[in-house]
A and B are shown apart, each in its own frame.
Chain A
Amino acid sequence: MSANRWLATGNYFTSYREEQRIFFTSLDRTAMGLLLAVLFAWPFFLELDNKYMLVIDNILVAVIAVMGLNLVTGFAGLISIGHAAFVGIGAYTVASFSRMLGENHLLLSHGWPVMIILAGCMGAVFGALVGLPALRLKHLYLAIATLSFQMIFQWTINFMNFFNQGQTISVTRVTWVTGQVSRSQHYMFWYYALLVVIVLCGFGVRNLLRTRYGRCLVAVRDNDRAADAMGMHPGFTKVYAFALAGFLAGVAGALHAYLYRGVGVESFTLHHSISYLAMAIVGGLGTLHGSFWGPLAIKLLDLQVEQLSEWVGAHVTAATNLATALRPLSFGLVIVLFLMFEPRGIANWWRIARSYVKLWPFRY
């Protein structure tokens, strides 16, 4: 049966190759192209305030980090309660170069793509180290190992003079072919840089997941004994999953450092680890596009929470900053409610909407 290259009403795969394509139909490919074009082009038509640009950039950084978390928690099935620490490793790689070489060293201002990759590698090394217990243990223990890594990370940063004891370490402005990126263009520049990184990472992860190196993650998650019998090493696969997650987290951390032009430990605490986990769960664990929905939803929720607490704070005099109370409360509620009522996350709504449109006017 010749498959319709534009609209498919079902799966008509006749070979494994067909099943592993990145785009199943031409429509998919066109839609992705259009989406990318819109994402790259909209700043030319719409002028946004720096404040909103920062929010968008923030979401994009979180997307990269959550992509990593999704690899380890969604695809490989290992809970990581220390993801913010891996992001922090990336950020502090940049920061420590800034401390060692001086803030305006050429490597930091001109060689920032190198720094970002270096930060990713650093994250991967630490990810593999934390994942090492996976050679012997199952996921319960791994969750505890990541938690303790988070605590050790926070302690190391807080008590070492080299890291300025957790206070902000500043990071230089970067230089692009047009010269040093100016203050007014900073967020716009990083929007494009982040977009390019996300496209690279997204296609990288999508490609990975259709090769044997990605599929072994899912195999080990679903049944590690069967995976073992088929010749995969479950332990090494898990270590490798942690390294991959660490790489993406490190990249996200370096971008975070450059975006904020400074690194402080308060951006990489246990609370942030939990909010990354919330993003992954809300977006949909084990789906790639879930890593885009999750940060979007949680960061928008975060904005709403801030506005709400400002509004309440104007009417009620509270002893504490309401946002510090409402933020964990709302994140926790979102995690629990999604796990109880929609464990497959927003990605599932997207799937339902897609299949509705695809099959319209029929339904099942």
Chain B
Amino acid sequence: MAYLFQLIISGVVVGSIYALSALGFVLIYKSSRVLNIAHGQIIATGAFITYALTVWAGIPIYISFPISMVLTFFLAMSVERIFLRRLIGEPIISVIMVTIGLMSILDGLIYLTPFGTENFSFPPFLPTTPIAFAGVSISWTQMVGVIVTFTMIGAFSWFFKKSTLGISMRAVSDDQLASMSIGISVPKVFGLAWAMAGLSAAAAGGIIGNITGLNFDTLHAFGIVVFPVVILGGLDSILGAVVAGIIMGLIQQFASGYLDGNWGLNGTGEVMPYIILLIILLFKPHGLFGIHEIERV
């Protein structure tokens, strides 16, 4: 029984990070209908900036973490400004392919730094003895990671519900023409969506870096697992991203906890999300919370 609870806890930890990563992805999709294939690379960049500031520049992590979020905010905004702004109005297929190109460029840039091949880990800044309760243990970093994640998600939902900017972003995602007519600058909203996505990606990257250590392949994989998460939750639903993120984390942990080692299976946690993705695409393509107006062919 303790094993089950342990799996649930680690599933929720991983899942909440998925939720945070998927949040940025959904933001971009919701406002501009662009699938950002390069999201994993932005997550990785955020994590590496946090590490560089914390360890190489010696800034305490509770200052360097927000700084890296701000830096990634501007990085993502400039990516939108330089590469995607001039493609507004082009067919969506070429915009997606530009993000594939971006993914490749960021990959190359990361491989130029030591982060591309070597592994790093953050110096511990929290107590290293895990919190143990009834045979179930959770480490302090995981605990703080989950708390930060849920705070961020809460802040984002407040932003979309209450603030003028957030409401204008929702307006643009609903109807671009109508929102232009009431004076919302649509390109600015696109830029802001990218920037916010960068911000949440940097937060997710920093948390992953603290929990699992910095490894480019792992961080990159987080960017790709985002796809199953957003498809499960519905591509344009922020609530869906959060719920599906946690479900996906649980599924992964259960798969690797119960399937690995039996029947000659191994590493099922890595592949399970994609199998689920294909099944969902076949049977319930709008996901759990997505809007049903999928364009049928």
Interface residues of A (CB under 8 A from B): 73, 77, 79, 81, 132-141, 143-145, 147-149, 151-152, 155-156, 158-159, 161, 224, 234-235, 238, 271, 274, 277-278, 281, 319-320, 322, 324-336, 339-340, 343
Contact yes or no, A238 B297, CB < 8 A? yes
A138, B295: Cβ atoms closer than 8 Å = yes
Across-interface contacts of B100 in A (CB, < 8 A): 81, 274, 277, 335
Asked if A135 contacts B92 (CB within 8 A), the reply is no
The reply to whether B297 and A144 form a contact with Cβ atoms under 8 Å apart is no
Q: Among the listed stretches B6-14, B163-171, B243-251, B270-278, which one makes contact with chain A, having 4 or more residues with CB under 8 Å of it?
A: B270-278
Question: Does the CB pair B267–A159 fall under 8 Å?
Answer: yes
CB distance from B297 to the nearest CB of A (A): 4
Q: Which of B63-71, B150-158, B224-232 contacts A (4 or more CB under 8 A)?
A: B224-232
In the complex, which residues of chain A have a beta carbon less than 8 angstroms from the beta carbon of B285? 133, 136-137, 141
Please judge, given known A-B contacts A81-B37, A336-B101, whether A224 and B108 are in contact too, CB under 8 Å.
no
Are B108 and A330 in contact, CB atoms less than 8 angstroms apart? Answer: yes
- Across the interface, A133 reaches (CB within 8 A) one of B33, B106, B109, B282, namely B282
Inter-subunit contact B274/A152 (CB<8 Å)? yes
B275–A134 contact, CB under 8 A?
no
Does B281 reach chain A (CB closer than 8 Å)?
yes
- The answer to whether B231 touches A141 (Cβ under 8 A) is yes
| Alpha-carbon distance A161/B111, docked complex (angstroms) | 31
By the criterion CB–CB under 8 Å, are B108 and A328 in contact?
yes
CB distance from A44 to the nearest CB of B (A): 40
Q: Is the CB of A143 within 8 A of B35?
A: yes
Contacting residues, chain A, for B295 (C-beta < 8 A): 138
Taking a contact as CB atoms under 8 Å apart, the answer to whether B281 and A141 are in contact is yes
Decide: A340 near B271, CB < 8 A? Known: A133-B281, A324-B116.
no
Instruction: Indicate if the CB atoms of A144 and B116 lie closer than 8 Å.
Output: no
A contacts with B: majority SS: helix
**How far apart sit A73 and B107, CA to CA, in the bound complex (Å)?**
23
CB distance from A342 to the nearest CB of B (A): 12
List the A side residues contacting B114 at CB < 8 Å. 319-320
Q: CA of A271 to CA of B278 in the docked complex: distance in angstroms?
A: 21
Interface residues of B (CB under 8 A from A): 33, 35, 37, 83, 86-87, 90, 92-94, 96-98, 100-109, 111-112, 114, 116-118, 224, 227-228, 231, 235, 264-267, 270-271, 274-275, 277-278, 281-282, 285, 294-297
* A281 in contact with B97 (CB, 8 Å): yes
Q: Lowest 9 A-B CB distances belong to which pairs?
A: A329-B108, A332-B104, A335-B101, A332-B105, A325-B111, A148-B274, A336-B101, A155-B271, A328-B108
Per the bound structure, the CA–CA distance linking A34 and B102 in Å amounts to 41
- Bound CA–CA A224/B102 (angstroms): 29
29 A-B pairs (CB sep. < 8 Å): A79-B96, A79-B97, A134-B297, A135-B297, A138-B295, A140-B33, A145-B281, A148-B227, A148-B275, A151-B270, A152-B278, A159-B266, A271-B104, A278-B104, A281-B97, A319-B114, A319-B118, A320-B111, A320-B112, A322-B112, A328-B108, A328-B111, A329-B109, A331-B108, A332-B102, A332-B104, A335-B101, A336-B105, A339-B87
Residue of B nearest to A322 (CB): B112
The residues of B that contact A331 with a CB separation of less than 8 Å are: 101, 104, 108
Q: Does A224 lie within 8 Å of B297, measured CB to CB? A: yes
Q: Known interface pairs A133-B282, A133-B285, A141-B281. Does A328 touch B105 (Cβ–Cβ under 8 Å)?
A: yes
Nearest A residue to B295, CB-CB: A138
> Which of A140, A274, A336 contacts B83, CB < 8 Å?
A336
A152 touches B271 (CB 8 A): yes
Residues of chain B within 8 A of A137, CB atoms compared: 281, 285, 294, 296-297
Chain A residue numbers with a CB within 8 Å of B108 are 325-332
- Report yes or no: B297 in contact with A136, Cβ–Cβ below 8 A: yes
Residue from B112, B265, B277, B296 in contact with A148 in the complex, judged by beta carbons closer than 8 Å: B277
Query: Could you tell me if A329 and B231 are in contact, using CB atoms closer than 8 angstroms?
Result: no
* CB within 8 Å for A329 and B297 given contacts A144-B231, A148-B228, A152-B274: no
B101 touches A333 (CB 8 A): yes
> Is B98's CB under 8 angstroms from A336's CB?
yes
- CB neighbours (8 Å) of A333 from chain B are 101, 105
Complex Cα gap A73–B103 (Å): 19
Is the beta-carbon distance between B98 and A340 smaller than 8 angstroms? yes
Interface centre among A77, A149, A319 (most CB of B within 10 A): A319
